[in-house]
Amino acid sequence: MTDSAPATRTVDLRDGLSITLQEFGENADGTGVLVLHGGAGPRSIAGLAAGLAPYARVLLPTHPGFDGTPRPEETDSIADLATAYLDLLDELGLHGVLVIGNSGGGWIAAEMALRDTRNRIASLVLIGATGIAPEPAHTIADPAALGPARTSELAFHNPALRPDAAAFSEEQKAVIAANQSTLARYAGPLGHDPKLRGRLHRVTVPVLVLAGEQDGIVPLGYERALADSFPHATFRPIAEAGHFPHLEQPAVVLAAIGEFVDGEVKPEEKPED
């Protein structure tokens, strides 16, 4: 693995849909890691993708419509994104894929696992993930309603890491607003799928759910409930971290992923008779 910048390219899929993605690292056996961002955009999880690059080929797509990328009008749901990324894995010929999703990206990852009829996905890592219906005591905060300043306060435990909303340029504000609008289009009026939790028992691959103990966007109890929805899931809270534990505690998150892969994923890789 070199320290060079990731390669960026666009992959054309179907019906006018294309995916812009960054590629980190290398592999020779057709396996890989797919990293899915949430409403904060690909920059919010690029550091984690780079941190995984010494160990695997890592793909970081930008969801169509985010950061100025094109979005076909008919691509307008989390299910559409899940199908698109399964098509992407098919197009690239990847198998044994670890899918990592933060926030709404975790929702996409779960939907991918439910639709993975070609068994390309080996495991999931969900970080501050959304998707299931919140119980009354575990309401998810709405960044679009809160505004950038309050969202930063709730999303980060460490004040030094909170973006300074007052310093945002007009261009940055416009990108944030456009990304939030795109996220709302995908997530729908509820911001979750009321039926998703009842389907997750069908996900048979190992799942790791990571949750910042000080996450003010998605409560810790919500993440515990999400983990409990899978038949084979490990729940791990991350101390001194908010909604982006991979930014506030990157070494801890990388170690947790490594332990999960070594302990839960690789033992499942048994040769066929």
For the stretch 32-69, pLDDT in tens is 999 999 999 999 999 999 999 999 999 999 999 999 99
pLDDT single digits (tens) 18-33:
999 999 998 767 889 9
Cβ count within 10 A of residue 18: 16
d(C-alpha 201, C-alpha 84), whole Å: 23
CB of 231 within 8 A of CB of 201?
yes
Domains of the chain: 7-266 (3.40.50.1820)
* Mean pLDDT, range 202-212, rounded to an integer: 98
pLDDT single digits (tens) 127-186:
999 999 998 878 899 988 888 889 999 999 999 999 998 899 999 999 999 999 999 999
pLDDT at 4: 58
* pTM score of the predicted model: 0.94
pLDDT at 200: 98
Cβ count within 10 A of residue 98: 26
| Cβ-proximal residues to 2 (8 Å cutoff; 6+ apart), any chain | none
The pLDDT-based confidence of 124 (bands split at 50, 70, 90) is very high
